[in-house]
Structure 1
Amino acid sequence: MTATKIFNHADEGTWTGTPDGNRRRVLLHTDELMLVEFAFEKGGIGALHSHPHVQASYVAEGRFEVTIDGKTEVLEQGSSYIVPSNLVHGVKALEAGRLVDTFTPHRADFLD
């Protein structure tokens, strides 16, 4: 599979509701890499979960309590974290905010 596109503009992409009540939009993807934006209201939870994909995340806006493999830290705008394959992780939005996540390989379950 090749990327359906190689550039994404701020107003592009369709927001989709997530099972835990937040929103996400896939920005770009190839077989090897995916870029996804998540939006949270204050108090929003990204439930604890794990997956085989390696994930790197950037806090684009807001403050989040981030838990990875039982360790929790509060991260604010401009901070980032990485989740190695199969580690249990999740977030809580301490204020409304956005995360920009990358996954390798891509998350097929996020595609229509």
Structure 2
Amino acid sequence: MAITGTKTFSHAGEGAWTPMSDGIRRRILLHTDELMMVEFAFDKGGVGALHSHPHVQASYVAEGRFEVTIDGRTEILEAGSCFIVPSNLVHGAKALEAGRLVDSFTPHRADFLA
């Protein structure tokens, strides 16, 4: 079954980076209405401030070490680790060293496409 109007594959290095707060940038890898994959690159000390959103988020630590807080609980995660943030829970991350997170959101983050 073909997927019309949707990018099916993404290759390494594709997509433009969007600067965010100091030390963080993101690029959208792929998305449909139901699902979105986004890569975040952090400089050492970069902070994804505490926030919440209605999307369910699954994150994979592709590189580096992060201090991740979800709903008041904090853990140190390194490359190969992952976490899930249920809808509307307060969460954030701090890069203990330079690194990358690959996040999936459902449904897609329309605010990232605006």
TMscore range, shorter length: over 0.9
Q: How much has 1:42 moved relative to structure 2? A: 0.3
Between the aligned partners of 1:3 and 1:83, the Cα distance in structure 2 is 29
Q: Deviations over 1:66-91 (max 9, x none)?
A: 00000000000000000000000000
RMSD: 1.0
Q: Deviations over 1:20-72 (max 9, x none)?
A: 22100000000000000000000000000000000000000000000000000
**Unaligned runs of at least 5 residues, structure 1:** none
* Mapping for residues 37-48 of structure 1, pairs under 5 Å: 37-48=39-50
Work out the percentage of aligned pairs sharing the same amino acid.
Answer: 80
Task: Name the structure 1 match of 2:52.
Answer: 50
Question: What is the deviation of 1:4?
Answer: 3.2
What is the distance in 2 between the residues matched to 1:10 and 1:4? Answer: 18
Matched, 1:100 2:94: no
Q: TM-score, normalised by structure 2?
A: 0.94
Q: Which amino acid aligns with 1:27?
A: L
Instruction: Please say which structure displays the higher CA radius of gyration.
Output: 2
Poorly superposed stretches of 4+, deviation over 4 Å: none
2-structure distance, mates of 1:83, 1:59: 14
| 1:62 partnered with 2:64 | yes
For 2:47 and 2:27, locate their aligned partners in 1 and report how far apart those are by CA, in whole Å. Answer: 17
For the residue of structure 2 that corresponds to 1:99, the secondary structure is strand
Question: Residue 25 of structure 1 contacts residue 38 of structure 1 at CA under 8 Å; is this kept in 2?
Answer: yes
> What amino acid is aligned across from residue 76 of structure 1 in structure 2?
E
State the match for 2:76 in structure 1: 74
Distance in 1 separating the partners of 2:41 and 2:111: 18
Does structure 2 retain, via aligned residues, the 8 Å contact 1:3–1:30? no
Q: 5+ residue gaps in structure 2?
A: none
How far apart, CA to CA, are the structure 1 residues paired with 2:112 and 2:98? 22
